[in-house]
């Protein structure tokens, strides 16, 4: 997740762009940059590796710019490490065209290869740079080889639009992209496909940005661009087109948010916003990495040799907290394909590390990529000869530098301390990896792989359905808001989700909660059940459903107030006082869904207790101490 911004109008363009980037820094802040048109037909371009303040210092000395178009970007790296070369805006070969982009261009390797073959030279490792060279190539075609010829402003603008339109029509993946061309210094063109883009209509000019927080200081009048929209933005006009060049009508909306609400997309807390971002986060994780049609799993960037995957004797997961719960699900997914797996808290790993060898792959899972316990575990595993695969959300993090291979979860920055969307991204990554490994090891044949991938790509829609049940989940949570103890139980794939449900309550509501393997209840924990104690059971369809049902009955018999997370098929079987119903999926995929109501449940319990949800007491987002 990056932030893009753009402005054309009579205000000082530098100031508006820098102000917008400061507001968008929550979307990513490893590098940033701006480009703006000068009156002499040239461009100013400034990029820095680091925060917006550095950029501000760099541009503060230059003469005021009014009336000229400008675009800006604050980056959260996905393709290429955080560096000045990879920072946006990116320029074409002539240095006259610039673009900023948020999203992932899936088909960029092929496009880039063709562009290089036809003489374009690339200066960054980003997927974004492909877009600007594509616009350049189209512009050259339209202008008959060279676009340096003099022409009336109207013709130049028409050509720029046409080149931009043709270029974005060739892109696959997700993008909110804005471009300027020094020959049309008062024009910004933006487009949207699966990444947010809003266009602001102001008194002193117009705006384009990833979200309204970038320009809320200047206007509350916005157009929310839709997928497949192109916006042509000038000082006094905003026009919308589709990718075929037909004009579109878009409704102007007056928004009522203040700046803090705008950053949170109108939600009260980042945690709730991030819970709602999960369908998009999972789509981003899966994008370009599953090919359901041919039953194969393609992870272009991973590069683990097939012979190593085939000869692997074991997989060892290491992680902490929520990431460790993803690891426990991972063990069960890989295990179901016959691959021996172990998971260990990174902080408890030392003794196991000594037992590893070159036939072990260690999968280290970490949202931040900076958790010291996980990094130390990786160092110990390496010393024993194991290969390391990092599954992380953070490009260029310490973990990636200390690993042999990396799979990025691509969820965008997670700001709420309690991990939600990063967890879903970790799970989705593990499904991709397990499918990929199983195909290579021959435990998943083509048609099974096709089915597996088809189920995976349906998950974002199922998650949306659960999110739409928010009111009901909230009401259920509120009935438990005075409880002082919670017990979460389940079996097999959902045992780690019981642990995660309990962790979410503990960390944001400060209430005692335990997660237990349901089968363990009779071996001790059942003694703690008292009349009215909440027992939350994940009781989705599986061969173990009757057993979970039995555990719920045992709890109920001792007075527990049982809430069951059920699916469309298990609802008729599971017996409880309260239910939250989710869509049915095969058991192996159910953790991706069962965790969603539990995140919301924890959120609404914390809300009714008035807790500081995004910054819970005693916790930090990144734990860099042992």
Is residue 22 among the annotated active site residues?
no
Buried b (16+ CB within 10 A) or exposed e, 408-447: bbbbbbbbbbbbbbbbbbbbbbbbbbbbbbbbbbeebeee
Piece in contact with ligand F6R (CB under 6 A), picked from 366-374, 476-484, 575-583, 586-594: 366-374
- The verdict on 599 binding ligand F6R (CB under 6 A) reads no
Piece in contact with ligand F6R (CB under 6 A), picked from 8-16, 152-160, 362-370, 557-565: 362-370
Contact (CB, 8 A) for 164 and 98: no
For ligand F6R, the closer of residues 159 and 599 by Cβ is: 599
For ligand F6R, the closer of residues 91 and 409 by Cβ is: 409
For ligand F6R, how many residues bind (rule: CB under 6 A)?
Answer: 15
- Of the residues 225, 320, 329, 552, which one makes contact with ligand F6R according to CB under 6 A: 320
- Of the residues 322, 494, 541, 594, which one makes contact with ligand F6R according to CB under 6 A: 322
Q: Least distance (Å) from ligand F6R to the CB of residue 616?
A: 9
Active site residue: 2, 22, 184, 341, which one?
2
For tokens 């069951």, name the residue.
564
How many C-beta neighbours within 10 Å does residue 57 have? 10
- Of the residues 196, 200, 288, 321, which one makes contact with ligand F6R according to CB under 6 A: 321
Q: Which of 322, 319, 332, 293 lies closest to 494, judged by CA? A: 332
Residues 418-437 that bind ligand F6R (CB under 6 A): 418-419
Compute and round to an integer the Cα radius of gyration of the chain. Answer: 26
- Of the residues 368, 429, 494, 555, which one makes contact with ligand F6R according to CB under 6 A: 368
Q: Least distance (Å) from ligand F6R to the CB of residue 403?
A: 13
Active site residue: 170, 458, 556, 621, which one?
621
- Of the residues 96, 507, 587, 614, which one makes contact with ligand F6R according to CB under 6 A: 507
Is residue 359 among the annotated active site residues?
no
State the alpha helices, DSSP H only, in 364-445: 372-383, 398-401, 421-441
- The verdict on 374 binding ligand F6R (CB under 6 A) reads yes
How many C-beta neighbours within 10 Å does residue 479 have? 13
For ligand F6R, the closer of residues 280 and 598 by Cβ is: 598
For ligand F6R, the closer of residues 343 and 453 by Cβ is: 343
- State the DSSP code for 214: G
Helix, coil or strand: residue 603: helix
Piece in contact with ligand F6R (CB under 6 A), picked from 60-68, 237-245, 367-375, 558-566: 367-375
DSSP string, 434-483: HHHHHHHHTSS-HHHHHHHHHHHHHHHHHHHHHHTTHHHHHHHHHHTTT-
- Of the residues 367, 429, 490, 599, which one makes contact with ligand F6R according to CB under 6 A: 367
CA angle 351, 356, 358 (to 5 degrees): 160
How many C-beta neighbours within 10 Å does residue 312 have? 19
Buried b (16+ CB within 10 A) or exposed e, 486-524: bbbbbbbbbbbbbbbbbbbbbbbbebebbbbbbbebeee
Look up residue 321 and give its two tokens. Answer: 């907290």
Residue span 392-421 as binding mask against ligand F6R, x where in contact by CB under 6 A, dash where not: --------------------------xx--
Q: Least distance (Å) from ligand F6R to the CB of residue 323?
A: 4
Q: Among all residues, which ones are annotated catalytic?
A: 2, 621
Name the site residues for ligand F6R (rule: CB under 6 A).
320-323, 366-368, 371, 374, 418-419, 503, 507, 622-623
């Amino acid at each position: 997740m990056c932030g893009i911004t753009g402005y054309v109008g009579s205000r000082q363009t530098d100031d508006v762009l820098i102000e917008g980037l400061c507001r968008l820094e929550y979307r990513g802040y490893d590098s940033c940059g701006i480009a703006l048109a000068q009156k002499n037909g040239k461009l100013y371009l400034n990029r820095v590796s680091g925060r917006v303040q550095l950029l501000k210092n760099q541009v503060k000395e230059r003469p005021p710019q009014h009336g000229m178009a400008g675009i800006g970007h604050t980056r959260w790296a996905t393709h290429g490490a955080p560096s000045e070369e990879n920072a946006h805006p990116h320029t074409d070969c002539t240095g006259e065209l610039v673009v900023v982009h948020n999203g992932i261009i899936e088909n960029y390797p092929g496009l880039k290869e063709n562009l290089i073959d036809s003489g374009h030279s690339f200066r960054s490792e980003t997927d974004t740079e492909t877009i600007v060279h594509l616009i350049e190539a189209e512009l050259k075609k339209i202008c008959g080889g060279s676009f340096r010829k003099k022409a009336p402003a109207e013709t130049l603008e028409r050509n720029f639009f046409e080149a931009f339109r043709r270029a974005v029509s060739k892109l696959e993946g997700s993008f909110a992209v804005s471009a300027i061309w020094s020959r049309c210094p008062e024009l910004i063109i933006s487009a949207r496909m699966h990444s947010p883009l809003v266009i602001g209509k102001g008194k002193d000019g117009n705006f384009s940005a990833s979200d309204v927080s970038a320009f809320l200081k200047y206007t509350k009048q916005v157009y929310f661009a839709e997928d497949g929209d192109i916006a042509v933005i000038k000082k006094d006009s905003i026009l919308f087109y589709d990718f075929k060049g037909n004009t579109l009508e878009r409704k102007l909306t007056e928004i009522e948010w203040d700046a803090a609400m705008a950053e949170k997309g109108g939600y009260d807390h980042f945690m709730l916003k991030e819970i709602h971002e999960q369908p998009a986060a999972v789509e981003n994780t899966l994008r370009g990495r599953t090919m359901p049609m041919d039953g194969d799993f393609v992870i272009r960037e991973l590069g683990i040799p097939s012979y190593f995957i085939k000869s692997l004797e074991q997989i060892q997961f290491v992680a902490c907290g929520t990431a460790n719960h993803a690891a426990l699900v991972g063990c069960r997914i890989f295990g179901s394909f016959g691959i021996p797996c172990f998971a260990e808290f990174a902080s408890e790993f030392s003794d196991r590390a000594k037992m590893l060898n070159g036939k072990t792959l260690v999968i280290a899972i970490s949202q931040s990529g900076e958790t010291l316990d996980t990094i130390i575990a990786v160092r110990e595993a390496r010393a024993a000869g194991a290969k390391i695969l990092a599954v992380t959300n953070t490009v260029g993090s310490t973990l990636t530098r200390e690993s042999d291979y990396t799979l990025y979860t691509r969820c965008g920055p997670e700001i709420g301390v309690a991990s939600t969307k990063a967890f879903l991204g970790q799970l989705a990554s593990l499904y991709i990896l397990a499918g990929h490994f199983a195909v290579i090891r021959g435990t998943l044949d083509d048609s099974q792989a096709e089915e597996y991938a088809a189920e995976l790509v349906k998950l974002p829609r199922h998650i949306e359905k659960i999110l739409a049940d928010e009111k009901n989940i909230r009401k259920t949570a509120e009935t438990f808001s005075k409880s002082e103890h919670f017990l979460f139980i389940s079996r097999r794939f959902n045992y780690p989700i019981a642990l995660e449900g309990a962790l979410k309550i503990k960390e944001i509501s400060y209430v005692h909660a335990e997660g237990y393997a349901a089968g363990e209840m009779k071996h001790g924990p059942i003694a703690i059940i008292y009349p009215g104690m909440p027992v939350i059971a994940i009781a989705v369809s599986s061969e173990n459903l009757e057993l979970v049902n039995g555990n719920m009955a045992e709890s109920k018999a001792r007075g527990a107030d049982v809430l069951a997370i059920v699916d469309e098929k298990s609802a008729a079987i599971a017996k409880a006082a309260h239910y939250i119903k989710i869509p049915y999926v095969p058991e192996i995929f159910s953790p991706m869904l069962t965790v969603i109501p539990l995140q919301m449940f924890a959120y609404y319990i914390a809300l009714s207790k008035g807790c500081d949800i995004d910054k819970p007491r005693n916790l930090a987002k990144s734990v860099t101490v042992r």
